[in-house]
Amino acid sequence: MGRRIDLNWDEWNPGLDTDVLMIKEVLATMPAANADDVPEIIRRYENPASPDALPGAISLPRHDVIHVLLGRGLHVQDEAFVIGATMGAASDITDEAIATFIEVSTKEYPEHWRFEDEHIPSYRLGIGFAQDNMRNVDLHLTPLEEEPWQSMTVADARRKIGIVKEELRAYFRKAELLVPGTRATRRLDTSAHRPDGALSQNKS
């Protein structure tokens, strides 16, 4: 996981209507991030090379692809959903691991990276989406940052993994109820129409 500090990180939002674009084309629009800037406490739990890594721990390039596939931007609320989905898809996920992540992300992470209580519903929604749609897919072990994945269209990659846009939109509608009014929530794609700021090339 990482946070972007580029000037346009706040605006980046791929949305769900990127079907005809290749994964690498959408990634090319994403603000850059430096994994070396991620604090040690985060690397301890979220870096797959760490002995204390939680289920679903994933490299930053692979994590970035999941942002694209789930149509989520880079706000903390978006990160919460993406991390939840990645952990929820892990075959070794446990209730204890979920509780540990909530504890450390809300109390031990530095301010710029810390989750607030309002972000936890999005994290749990991500877990729920994965367990309802991608159980035991082990996204964190899938080399999404490599070929042939990078040259797949987003639609083909979603289909291969089991991500259905209408199912995602259903979870986004739940977010509108649980976390109303935030900027991240307001720009969620809950309809078949392109939201402002999306990278849409078609509608489906």
pLDDT per residue as tens digits for the range 163-202? 999 999 999 999 999 999 999 999 999 974 444 444 444 4
pLDDT at residue 9 is higher than 90: no
User: Radius of gyration (Cα) for the chain, nearest Å?
Assistant: 15
Residue 72 lies in a domain: yes
| Amino acid letter for position 68 | V
**Mean pLDDT for all residues in the chain:** 90
Give me the residue label for tokens 């989750």.
115
**Per-residue confidence (pLDDT) for residue 8, from 0 to 100:** 78
Whether residue 158 is contained in a domain is answered as yes
65 CB neighbour count, 10 Å cutoff: 25
Task: Note whether residue 163 is domain-resident.
Answer: yes
Residue 42: how many CB atoms within 10 A of its CB?
Answer: 20
68 part of a folded domain: yes
**Alpha-carbon span 142 to 156, nearest angstrom:** 15
* Residues 39-68 pLDDT 10s: 999 999 999 999 999 999 999 999 999 999
The answer to whether residue 119 is domain-embedded is: yes
Domain, as residue range, for 114: 23-186
Q: State how many domains the chain has.
A: 1
Which residues fall within 8 angstroms of residue 177, CB to CB, at 6 or more apart? none
